[in-house]
Structure formats: C-alpha cells, structure tokens
C-alpha cells in the first residue's frame, strides 16, 4: 500500500471511529431530574412515549427544590422538570446558573390546608401558618393569603413578597417558614399551611377536595423543562418536548390527577 492510500485509509478509520463515538454518546439515556410525586409519575409516561421516538430517558427523583438545579448546572443531569419560571429566575440570579427554560409542562395550583379548621374564617387570632421558605413559593403563598382576604401586602411586593411585606394582618397570623417538602407533615403542628401540590399529593392530600383555598390555575406559575444554556438548541431538546407535548401525556395528566394537576401546554 502506498503512502497516499495509507493516509486515506487512516482518515477513513478516524471518521468511522468519530461517528461511532458520537452514536454511542447519543445512545446514553438523557438524565432528567424531577421531584417525587406527580412530576415523576408524568415523566415515567413521557419516558415511554420518548422511547417510541428513539429517545432514551432516565428519570432521577429528588426530594427538594434545590438539588435538581445544582445537579443540572454541574452536568449531572441533562434537564430537569419541577419548577416554575419565578423560581428558576430567582435561582439563576442568586446562584449564577446558566440554565434556561425550553418549554412548559404542568401547573400545580397551590392550596391552603388545615387539619384543625374547615375554612380560613375559623382561624383564631394568632394562628400559626406555614409558608414555604424559598422566596418565590413563599411569596406565592402570601399572595394567595392576600387574595383570600387574610392579609394585605405592601404595594409592589410582587411575586417575591416575604412576611416583612405584610402591612395588614387582622388575625395576627404567626408565619412559620419551612422547607416546602416539610409542609404537609407540619399540618399536625400548625393551624394551617400553604402546600405546593407536588408535595400535597404524595402526602395523601387531594387538592380539589382537601384544600380550604386553591389557587387560580391561571398565572405565572406554570412549570417548565430546564436545560443548560449551551444545550438549548440541541436536537434532543426538541424530541424531549415533542414527547411531553403529546395528547397521550395530556390525557394521562387529566385522568390521573383529576384536575389537581393541569396541563400547561
């Protein structure tokens, strides 16, 4: 074999190796981070739909709101699906994550729950009220309390309102800030609490039946799929969204959760 032929053969082998390596990389399952409960249940169905389209998914469950973004930013996940945009925006601002939204998933209307009273009017003066301790969900709970007539927030407090922004509190509610995942278990110790639906359902609470007040489904809190900024235009992102945004997944959400979780696409 002459020198030119040898070089051509070597180049051809290198190309084969390169394409083979690329194919193997694409064959690895996408690691999708979710919180336990509805997000995990839905993504197990998305996994089945995606597999029919040649996209393999590994669903990884987390028990809090902090770790899925940290894991995505560090490269341990390819995407996550558990948060709404106000929360993502706050995380990006506070932690410098280069993470972006690529599409919407579902809406979990927040509810106010109690094991001691059947309406907010029954709350006694000085009642202890549980709030999520992360800024966006804490503000969301306070806005729900305000719309229910229990408190008034200072003008302009917005989505990131905190108990310090409460300017009127006729019942003198005492706010107890806890990790969102702990709030369902706190109902035995508190008079009432705001609970995110994705934590309420695994705790055996039915938002449409058990919530004293349920948030309006319309608003800025539709959940989303997030990826690293560098990955947002990759072909697998389009395939992932296509698998989620199917009539099959819409029907599963409506049938499985009976109105307590709503399709946001």
Per-residue pLDDT of 51-94, as tens digits, reads 999 999 999 999 999 999 999 999 999 999 999 999 999 999 99
Question: How many structural domains are present in the chain?
Answer: 2
| Same domain, yes or no: 105 and 115 | no
CATH code of the domain in which 181 resides? 3.40.190.10
pLDDT for res 177:
97
pLDDT, tens digit (0-9, with 9 covering 90-100), for 84-121: 999 999 999 999 999 999 999 999 889 999 999 999 99
DSSP 231: G
| Same domain, yes or no: 34 and 87 | yes
pLDDT for res 219:
78
pLDDT for res 136:
87
| Same domain, yes or no: 71 and 30 | yes
Nearest residue to 84 via CA among 134, 45, 129: 134
pLDDT for res 74:
98
User: Is residue 9 assigned to a domain?
Assistant: no
User: Is residue 1 assigned to a domain?
Assistant: no
Q: Which residues have a Cβ under 8 Å from the Cβ of 214 and sit 6 or more positions away? A: 109, 110, 111, 112, 207, 208
Q: What pTM was computed for the model? A: 0.75
Compute CA distances 139 → 61, 143, 182, 194, whole Å: 25, 6, 17, 11
Q: Exposure string (b/e) for 76-114, b if CB count within 10 Å is 16 or more?
A: ebbbbbbbbbbbbbbbbeeeebebebbbbbbbbbbbbbb
| Same domain, yes or no: 209 and 116 | yes
HSE-CB for 121 with a 13 A CA cutoff: 0
| Same domain, yes or no: 27 and 99 | yes
| CA separation for the pair 68, 49 (Å, rounded) | 23
Q: Is the dihedral of CA 48, 253, 108, 192 positive or negative?
A: negative
HSE-CB for 258 with a 13 A CA cutoff: 5
Residue 162 binned pLDDT confidence (cut-offs 50, 70, 90): very high
Q: What is the span of the domain harbouring residue 153?
A: 111-214
pLDDT > 90: what percent of the chain? Answer: 82
Last residue of a domain, one of 195, 214, 233: 214
- Residues 180 and 199: beta-carbon distance below 8 Å: yes
pLDDT for res 217:
74
Alpha helices in the chain (DSSP H): 3-27, 38-52, 67-74, 85-95, 135-147, 197-200, 207-210, 235-244, 247-257
Nearest residue to 191 via CA among 178, 174, 169, 207: 174
Residue 124 binned pLDDT confidence (cut-offs 50, 70, 90): very high
| Same domain, yes or no: 29 and 150 | no
| CA separation for the pair 14, 22 (Å, rounded) | 12
Nearest residue to 200 via CA among 257, 119, 116: 257
| Same domain, yes or no: 173 and 84 | no
User: Is residue 42 assigned to a domain?
Assistant: yes
| Same domain, yes or no: 103 and 125 | no
Task: For residue 55, count other CB atoms closer than 10 A to its CB.
Answer: 19
User: Is residue 11 assigned to a domain?
Assistant: no
User: Is residue 2 assigned to a domain?
Assistant: no
Last residue of a domain, one of 175, 198, 214: 214
pLDDT > 70: what percent of the chain? Answer: 90
| Same domain, yes or no: 205 and 115 | yes
User: Is residue 232 assigned to a domain?
Assistant: yes
| CA separation for the pair 16, 6 (Å, rounded) | 15
| Same domain, yes or no: 87 and 117 | no
- Residues 79 and 225: beta-carbon distance below 8 Å: yes
Q: What angle do CA 145, 148, 152 make, to 5 degrees?
A: 60
Last residue of a domain, one of 198, 214, 230: 214
pLDDT, tens digit (0-9, with 9 covering 90-100), for 225-265: 999 999 999 999 999 999 999 999 999 999 999 888 999 99
State the distance between the two ends of the chain, measured CA to CA, in whole angstroms: 61
| Same domain, yes or no: 176 and 52 | no
Residue 216 binned pLDDT confidence (cut-offs 50, 70, 90): confident
| Same domain, yes or no: 94 and 48 | yes
User: Is residue 166 assigned to a domain?
Assistant: yes
Q: Which residue has the higher pLDDT, 176 or 17?
A: 176
In three-state secondary structure terms, 237 is helix
């Amino acid at each position: 074999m002459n020198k030119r032929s040898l070089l051509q053969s070597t180049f051809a082998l290198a190309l084969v190796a390169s394409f083979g390596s690329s194919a193997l990389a694409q064959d690895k399952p996408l690691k999708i981070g979710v919180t336990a409960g509805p997000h995990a249940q839905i993504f197990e169905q998305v996994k089945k739909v995606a597999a029919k389209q040649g996209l393999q998914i590994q669903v990884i469950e987390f028990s809090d709101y902090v770790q899925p973004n940290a894991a995505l930013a560090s490269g341990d996940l390819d995407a996550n699906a558990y948060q709404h945009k106000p929360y993502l925006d706050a995380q990006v601002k506070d932690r410098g994550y280069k993470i972006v939204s690529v599409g919407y998933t579902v809406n979990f209307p927040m509810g106010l729950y109690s094991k001691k009273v059947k309406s907010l009017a029954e709350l006694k003066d000085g009642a202890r009220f549980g709030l999520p301790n992360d800024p966006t969900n804490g503000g969301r709970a306070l806005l729900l309390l305000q719309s229910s007539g229990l408190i008034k927030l200072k003008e302009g407090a917005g989505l990131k309102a905190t108990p310090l922004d409460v300017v009127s509190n006729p019942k003198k509610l005492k706010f107890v800030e806890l990790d969102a995942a702990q709030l369902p278990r706190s109902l035995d110790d508190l008079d009432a609490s705001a609970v995110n639906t994705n934590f309420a359902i695994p705790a055996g609470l039915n938002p449409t039946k058990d919530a004293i007040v349920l948030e309006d489904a319309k608003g800025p809190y539709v959940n989303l799929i997030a990826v690293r900024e560098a990955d947002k235009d990759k072909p697998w992102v389009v395939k992932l969204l296509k698998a989620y945004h199917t009539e099959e997944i819409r029907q599963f959400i409506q049938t499985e959760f009976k109105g307590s979780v709503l399709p946001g696409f």
